[in-house]
Structure 1
C-alpha cells in the first residue's frame, strides 16, 4: 500500500476555466446518455413545436444516424445559429421556472447533440424559405438556403464521435434499438393526436413502429392509442381510472389483476404529459394492487397525473425524467386511492384472456390434422363393459346437489347465472343465458371472507396488545419520520413513542400479528417512510394475516355444496368488489360463451 510522505508538500493545481468545447461536451454527457436520449429530446422539441406527424429513422441503434422529421412550426433562418447555442430557447423567458407548460425549457438539447456528433438542422416555417445549419463537435457552420417542406428535420450522425470513450458504454445495437423504440412508444402514448413512425435504416430500411393520429374525445383517443401500442388485450382488460385530490387529477387505464405481468415493463407513468420514471408513483401503483396480486406478479397500467405546473418541479435532472411533487404524500395517496376505487368498481369482472386460455386448452393441437367426427367412422360393435368401470368415480356431485333446470329461470339473467352442478367437489358449474360459468368455489369464497374481514377491521379498528417489556429501537435520523406518522400507526395497532435522540420505544403491536419482531417491523416502516414518504409495510402484514384467516375459513375443497349454497355464493360474488380474483390475483371463475362452446364441437 502506497503511503504519501508527509514531509513532501504537494503544490495544488491552479484553477483555470475550461474552454467552451469541453464545457459543452461535459454538459452533453448529462443530457445525451445514449441514442435513446437524443431521440427523446428531438421528439419533445417536435411536440413543443405543435407537430402532428413525427417520423424517426435510426441506423445502427442510433450510433451511426438519427433523423427526426416533423411538420411543426419550424425555426426561422436567422434563429438557427442561436438554436445551436446553449441555454437558448423559445419556450420560457427565464422569469418563472415553475410555470412550465412544455416538454423542453433548458435550451440544451441541440447544443448538446452538436457537441458530441455531426448535426444538421433543416427547417422551414410556414410562409418562409427553408434553411439549413450544420455543426461538428460543437462548431456551427453558416446558414444556407435549401429546399425543404414545412417543419423541421434534425439529423445526427456519428453520435459520440467527439467523445469516443462514451461509445464503450453503449449496449449492443439491438439493445440500443429497443431503448429507442421504448422512448418513441412512451411519447406516442402521451400524444394520441399525433402520428408517430420509427424506421430502422441499418441495412434495408424497415418500419418497426407506427401509429396513426387518433380522433374523438380524449378518453377514446387514449384508449385507441394504447390498444395500438400495448395490444387489444390490454384495452379489453383494463378499467378507466379517474380521480382528483387537492389540485391533482389522475386519469388513465389500469389492467385487471387477472391480467397481471411477470415484470414491471407494462407500467407507464406521466406527469403533465411528460413520461417519467418516478419511484414515488411506482410505489403507489404497486400499493394500489397490494391485496389483489401476489408478490411475484406486477400490475399493468398507463397513468397520467395532471396538475398546475407550480405543483411539481420538473427541473430536477437535465434529462427531465424525474419530478418532485410539492406535496408527495397527496400525489401518492391519489394514485393508491384512485386505483383501489377503480378496481373495486370493476366488481366481479375478470380478464377475458382467462376464457381464451381455457378455450385454447380444449382445442386440439394445430398439427392434429382435419377434425374427424364420430359419424365419419365406420360402424363397429360397442365394446363389452368392464367390471371396474362401474367403480370409476363420478366427477359430478350427486343428484341432490344439482340445480333443477325447470322452474324459475330468473337467475340465468344474473351475471354469474344459476348453479347447475358441482364438479369434483370444488368447481361450481353455472349456466347463463348465453354461456357457462365455471367457479373455483374455494378461491371465490376466500376473497369474499377476506373482504368481510377487512370491512370489519376498518369498522372496529385494529386491536393492539401491550408488550410485556417495551422494546427500544434506535433509528437514527429516521426516528423523526416514524414519529410524524405515530397517529396513523396507532390506528393499525402499533403504538410508538419517542425515547431520546434518534430512538423510539414500541409499547404495543397489532394483536392479529401475534408474537412478532417489533424492532424489525419498525425498521421496515421507517425505511419505507424515508424512501417514499408513506409506508404500507404494517398494513400489508395485517392484510396477509387476514388473507390467511380467510383461506382457512373459506369453503374447503372436497365439501359438497347444496344448490342454495352455490347460488348464494354466486350472488355474493356479484355484489362484492374484486371477487373476480382471489387474494393472490388468480381468477375465481371462467366464463365460456355458447358460441365458443359450439365452435369447440364443430357446430360453427
Structure 2
C-alpha cells in the first residue's frame, strides 16, 4: 500500500502494521465482526462442531474452536499473513467462489488490533498441534509445538488494546454480547448439520445439536428465535429457473415492531438484501398494520457462478 507524503510530496510504502490496522477498520468493527470472521473460517474448514467462547462481551476474549481439517505446521506461518488463503488461486476461482471467506485478510486484520493466538492440528494425533502468536503487529513467523486435537482454536484477547480511540467506542458488555449472539445466531441458522455451542463468561447460552431433518431444523429455530416464531410460521418451498427458495415465513399475526427477525441466506451465506426485504414487505402490505415488520428465515440456492460475493468488505452483500 502506498500514499503521497504530504510533507515531501513523495510516495512511500506504508508500514505493514499500519496497513493492517487500516484494513482492520473495514473488517473489524467490534467483537461481533471478529466472531463472524472466525466462525466463517471454521465453517470453511469443514467443521462438524464449532464452539464460541466470549468474555466481557468479547472485549476481553473471543475464542472459536473447531474440529475441522486444521492447519499444518508448514502453512501456519502464512495463516496470519495478508492475502494468504487456501480458498482461491485464480480469477476463475473468485467468479465461482463457494467458501465463506476467500480474501485472506481477516486474521491479519484481527491480529493487528488484538493479542491473537492460533493453535491448530491437521493430524489425528493430538500431540501434533502447532501454535503461532501475534500481538498487534506484523506476524512473527515463529511456530512452536502445542498439543491440540484435530482442528483449530483461535483466541482473540484485548481487542483494540493498541487503538484506544476504537476501544473507546465499544458499548456496554451487554450490548456487545447481544451483537455477538446475533452473529452466532445467523451462522447457526446457516448450517444445521453443524453442532454449535456459545458461552459467555463461562456460562452456556446456546447448545445446539446437529440435525438436518425438518423437525431438527424447527427445534433449532425455536432455540434461536423463540418458540413463538416457529409456532406462528409456515414452511415454504419453491423452485423455478434454476433457483430454489425455501424457509419459514411468519403469519401476519406474528409481526415485529422492528425488522430484527429477518434472515436471508444465499448458498449458505447470510446476506442483507434490501430488494428481498422490500419484496417480502410488499407481500404483507395488505395484512400488516403500519410500522409492523414480517419475520422470515429464507434460503436461496442457485449456481455460484452467477453470484458475485466480492462486492463488500464484510461480504454482507452479493450481486
**TM class, shorter-length:** over 0.9
Asked if 1:242 corresponds to 2:243, the answer is: no
Q: Which runs of no fewer than 5 residues in structure 1 stay unpaired?
A: 1-9, 325-604
1:90 to 81, 86, 107: 86
The offset of 1:297, in angstroms, is 1.4
Instruction: Measure the CA separation in 1 of the matches of 2:291 and 2:234.
Output: 22
- Residue 34 of structure 2 is matched in structure 1 by 38
CA RMSD, aligned part only?
A: 1.7
- Out of 198, 220, 223, the position equivalent to 1:225 is 220
8 Å CA contact 1:46–1:54 kept in 2: the answer is yes
TM-score after normalising by structure 1? 0.50
Matched, 1:69 2:68: no
Shift of 1:268: 1.0
Residue 209 of structure 2: aligned partner:
212
**1:14 pairs with 2:13:** no
Q: Alpha-carbon deviation of 1:49?
A: 0.6
CA shift, 1:12, in A, is: 7.4
Q: Is the 8 A contact 1:57 1:66 kept in 2?
A: yes
2: CA distance between counterparts of 1:53 and 1:151?
Answer: 10
Residue equivalent to 2:135: 136
The equivalent residue for 2:110 is 113
- Answer yes or no: is the 8 Å Cα contact 2:82–2:104 preserved in 1: yes
State the distance in 2 between where 1:138 and 1:178 align. 29
Q: CA deviation at 1:224?
A: 2.7
Query: Following the alignment from structure 2 to structure 1, what is the Cα–Cα distance between the partners of residues 146 and 212?
Result: 34
Q: What is residue 164 of structure 1 aligned with on the other side?
A: 164
2:229 and 2:250 in contact (8 A); partners too: yes
Equivalent residue of 1:139, what SS?
coil
Other-structure match for 1:53: 49
**Distance (whole Å) between structure 2 residues aligned to residue 101 and residue 76 of structure 1:** 23
Which of 291, 298, 306 aligns to 1:296? It is: 291
Tell me what 2:3 maps to.
Answer: none
- Deviation, 1:215, is 4.3
More helix by share: 1
In 1, Cα distance between equivalents of 2:109 and 2:299: 29
The equivalent position to 2:23 in structure 1, one of 27, 40, 61, is 27
In structure 2, stretches of 5+ residues that fail to align are 1-5
- Secondary structure class of the residue paired with 1:259: coil
Counterpart of 2:197 in structure 1 is 197
Alignment of 1:444-593 (within 5 A): none
Return the offset for 1:245. 3.4
Q: CA deviation at 1:156?
A: 0.7
TM-score (norm 2): 0.93
Q: Does the CA-based 8 Å contact 1:269-1:302 persist in structure 2?
A: yes
Distance 1:11 1:119, change over 3 A: closer
Q: Report if the CA contact (8 A) 2:81-2:139 is conserved.
A: no
Query: 1:312 maps to which residue?
Result: 307
**Which has the larger Rg?**
1
CA displacement at 1:228 relative to structure 2: 2.2
Are the aligned partners of 2:96 and 2:307 in contact in 1 as well (CA < 8 Å)? no
Partner of 1:266: 261
Distance 2:243 2:151 in 1: 35
Deviation at 1:310, TM superposition (A): 2.0
Q: How far apart in 1 are the matches of 2:90 and 2:313?
A: 16
Q: Deviations over 1:335-387 (max 9, x none)?
A: xxxxxxxxxxxxxxxxxxxxxxxxxxxxxxxxxxxxxxxxxxxxxxxxxxxxx
User: 1:184 is matched with which residue?
Assistant: 184
Describe the SS at the equivalent of 1:116: coil
Contact preservation (8 Å) 2:264, 2:298: yes
The number of residues matched between the two structures is 310
- Higher RCO, Cα 8 Å, sep 6+: 2
Equivalents in 1 of 2:160, 2:222: separation in Å?
36
Residues 132, 11 of structure 1: alpha-carbon distance in 2 compared, 3 angstrom cutoff:
closer
Q: Which residue of 2 aligns with 1:342?
A: none
The structure with more strand, counted as a fraction of residues = 2
> How far off is 1:27 after superposition?
0.7
Q: Check the 8 A contact 1:214/1:224 in 2, yes or no.
A: no
1:276 corresponds in structure 2 to 271
Deviations 1:159-183 (A, max 9, x none): 1123221112222211110000000
1:111–1:138 CA contact under 8 A, matched in 2? no
Specify the alignment match of 2:119 in structure 1. Answer: 122
> What is the alpha-carbon distance in structure 2 between the residues aligned to residue 233 and residue 273 of structure 1?
24
* C-alpha spacing 1:294/1:120, structure 2 compared with 1 (3 Å): same
Residue 275 to residue 215, structure 1, CA distance change in 2 (3 Å): closer
Cα distance, 1:314 vs structure 2: 1.0
CA distance in 2, matches of 1:18, 1:235: 52
What's the offset of the Cα at 1:264?
1.1
- The yes-or-no answer on 1:286 pairing with 2:281 is yes
2:252 aligned partner: 257
Structure 1 residue 11 displacement after superposition:
7.8
